[in-house]
Amino acid sequence: MIYRVRAEQGLLVLNFDAEGYYAVDDHMNALNAYGEKDKLYVKVDSPTKYVYLIKFKKKGYPKDDVFMPIEFKVIKYEDCEKAVEIKEFNGVLINNENNSSAYLYSKKKLDAPFYVEVNYCYEGKADNFLIGLFTNEEPNSSALCNGKLLGGCERYYAKGSYAIGFDPVYSTKSLIFVDKDGSCYEYHVNKDLTGCNVIRIYAHSNMLFIRVDEFELPPIPVKGKSEGFIYIVGNSGALASIQRVNYVRVYEGEIHEVKGIEKVGYNEVEIRNFRGIEYGKLYLDRINVIIGANNAGKTTILDALYLLSDPYQKPPGFKNSLELLSYLHNVKKGNKFLYRFYNTEVSPRIKGDEIEVDISEIFSKSEEGRKEIKTLYMSYRLIPRYLKFIKENWEEISNYTEIFREIFDEVNEISNEEYLTMSLEPFAGEYTFYLIRKDGKRVRLNDIGEGIRIFIVSRILYEYLKPGLLLWDDIESHLNPALLGKITAWFTDIPSQVVVTTHNLYVAYEISKDGKCIAVDLKNGQLKVKEIEDLKRYLDTGIDPRKIV
């Protein structure tokens, strides 16, 4: 399974269980990520439109370095009098002592924006536990260290700082915020603050965002400079408690809490009563190549995936998905005819993972809340329409200078010419595309080989649209072996799910090296599916795997 989120520079914080996943950018470059159950942190420090989360076969969570190492000075008061620096700290601030106090004080000053995450456990019902920010002096816990936070907010925090904490003697469901002037503000939460919890603080230049597990305080304005040291204080009076800090995580830089996670592609697809397929089910990987004889259902599978992804999407150069399929299959009578072409006496249904589409209701309103998957359908038949779309959006697409450089570097490796870029210029009363050679001469795009034209168009559209799912029918058509090699290698460099069909077993073998080969056949309406785990063995022995499905 593949997911993706919009990327922003800094640290992305996602509510996502990333066991078995790793994070990459638009070009499959690995990103540093740290995951645990239901939480993932991804560090983005290079340009990318999306961050992709891709399921890997290994178990476990990503454990890269995304947080900065931070050291603390640890001070503990014995009987509220003698301050002792603790050299070997095991995380326990208070260990059932009465009239005691302890604090952690960072050795590094932090400048907003930054993120602090404190995982703590509080057993018992003694006095306060709090976290402070933006201080330039250590907390003063020497006087009346058995006092309560609400008994005098001037105690147990550093003057001029901000602090957030709680006092279970007063309430286990009230967070207390202390501002730099020593004033206290109470926030009722819907959970018990004792036990084990996580406090997350996003510190910006003029605002604090504070969350305890899933409870979020209203944004809190910050006055003055947003810089200083951080500290954590625990204390007990007449009652005892155990207060433990399990970890402190710090990230200095912009923080972005991600709300929407988009699914990319499918693990499992089920087709019922769709064109010639009465029933069929197949399981997909990230890269998939489908082989089969003529009329075995290969293209029907791509059409089903396309409609499942979003039957209401507006493809490049077309009004909707049905118009694209009508054009692709040379259906001349428009959408209504195509609708009858797909419909049967039984309403056709396509199901992928948790999403189901009823083709008989293709013109009805989209299901509320349904998550579509942006899909690019590639076929040599669609190139004229796609070129028209690129022309109409050239003002924006022409700014993708780095992408054009990458595309033509690859074209030049297999071409007798050396091209630099592409332009749109007037010719015979209309605008046409030219490829600009290194010697300054221009060559019309329509005058070069169709294979190079398909290669260029597919790469431009992919970078412009950033689809989550790439479908390619009859991939070897009009592509020579060198271009096919470039495209199959490109599949491994993009994070989208890829599903292609081919008649060529050697092409299938090259693609399946980094993915899955699926042989299909259609018999009496039933889609027969067989995963080919070792296609090379079939090639070496001369056995055609398409004949044993």
- Measure the CA–CA gap between 439 and 119, rounded to whole angstroms: 63
Residue 364 has pLDDT above 50, yes or no: no
Q: State the Cα–Cα distance between residues 510 and 508, nearest whole angstrom.
A: 6
Q: What pLDDT does residue 89 have?
A: 93
Same domain, 49 and 79: no
| Same structural domain, 80 and 208 | yes
d(CA 164, CA 178): 6
Which residue has 């007798």 as its token pair?
Answer: 416
**Burial of 494 per CB tally in 10 Å (0-12, 13-18, 19+):** buried
What CATH number does residue 425 fall under? 3.40.50.300
- Domain boundary pick from 49, 66, 83: 66
Statement to judge: residues 283 and 412 lie in one domain: yes
Nearest CA among 433, 510, 444, 443 for reference residue 476:
510
Terminal Cα-to-Cα distance of the chain (whole angstroms): 26
| Residue 5 CB partners (closer than 8 Å, separation 6+) | 12, 14, 50, 51, 53, 258, 260, 261, 262
Please report the pLDDT score of residue 368 as a whole number. 35
* Helix, strand or coil, per DSSP, at residue 266: coil
> Is residue 465 predicted with pLDDT exceeding 60?
yes
Residues 8, 119 within the same domain:
no
Question: Does 346 score more than 50 pLDDT?
Answer: no
Instruction: Report pLDDT digits (tens) over 316-332.
Output: 988 878 788 888 887 65
Q: Which of 39, 66, 93 is the last residue of a domain?
A: 66
* Structural domain range at position 530: 265-547
Same domain, 103 and 53: no
* All residues at 6 or more sequence positions from 114 whose CB lies less than 8 Å from its CB, including other chains: 203, 250, 251, 252, 253, 255
CA distance to 282, 307, 357, per residue, from 361 (Å) = 24, 12, 8
* Better-scored residue on pLDDT, 170 or 13: 13
| pLDDT confidence band for 548 (50 / 70 / 90) | confident
Buried/exposed 256-284: b ≥16 CB within 10 Å, e otherwise = bebeebbbbbbeebbbbbbbebbebebeb
CA angle 15, 17, 20 (to 5 degrees): 145
Query: 476 by DSSP, 3-state: which?
Result: coil
Nearest CA to 236 out of 104, 78, 120 is that of 78
Residue 228 has pLDDT above 60, yes or no: yes
- Helix, strand or coil, per DSSP, at residue 279: strand
Indicate the pLDDT class of residue 142, thresholds 50, 70 and 90. Answer: low
Q: How confident is the model at residue 200 (pLDDT cuts 50, 70, 90)?
A: very high
Which range is least confidently modeled, 76-85, 185-194, 399-408? Answer: 76-85
Given this model, what pLDDT does residue 251 score? 96
CA–CA distance, 426 with 174 (Å, rounded to integer): 70
Query: Residue range 436-451: average pLDDT?
Result: 92
pLDDT of 100 above 50: yes
Regarding whether 492 and 364 lie in a shared domain, the answer is yes
Helix (H) or strand (E) holding 390: helix 383-392
The verdict on 349 and 211 lying in the same domain is no
Residue 117 has what pLDDT? 95
- The Cα–Cα gap between 476 and 501 comes to 9
Per 3-state DSSP, the chain is made up of helix, strand and coil in percentages (nearest 5) of 20, 40, 40
**Hunting for tokens 């796609």 — which residue is that?**
386
- CATH number of the domain to which 80 belongs: 2.60.120.200
**Together in a domain, 410 and 466:** yes
Say how far apart CA 316 and CA 327 lie, in whole Å: 13
155 shares a domain with 171:
yes
Work out the percent of the chain whose per-residue pLDDT is above 70: 88
pLDDT in tens, 400-422: 888 999 999 999 999 888 999 99
The domain boundary, picked from 243, 258, 273, lies at 258
Asked if 60 and 161 sit in the same domain, the reply is no
Same domain, 272 and 245: no
Q: Is residue 344's pLDDT more than 60?
A: no
* Residue 509 scores a pLDDT above 90: yes
Lowest mean pLDDT across 105-109, 203-207, 514-518: 203-207
Q: Which two tokens mark 307?
A: 């409609």
> Quick one: average pLDDT of 431-440?
93
For residue 363, pLDDT beyond 70: no
d(CA 279, CA 505): 26
Instruction: Name the domain count of the chain.
Output: 3
Based on the fold, state whether residues 422 and 289 are members of the same structural domain. yes
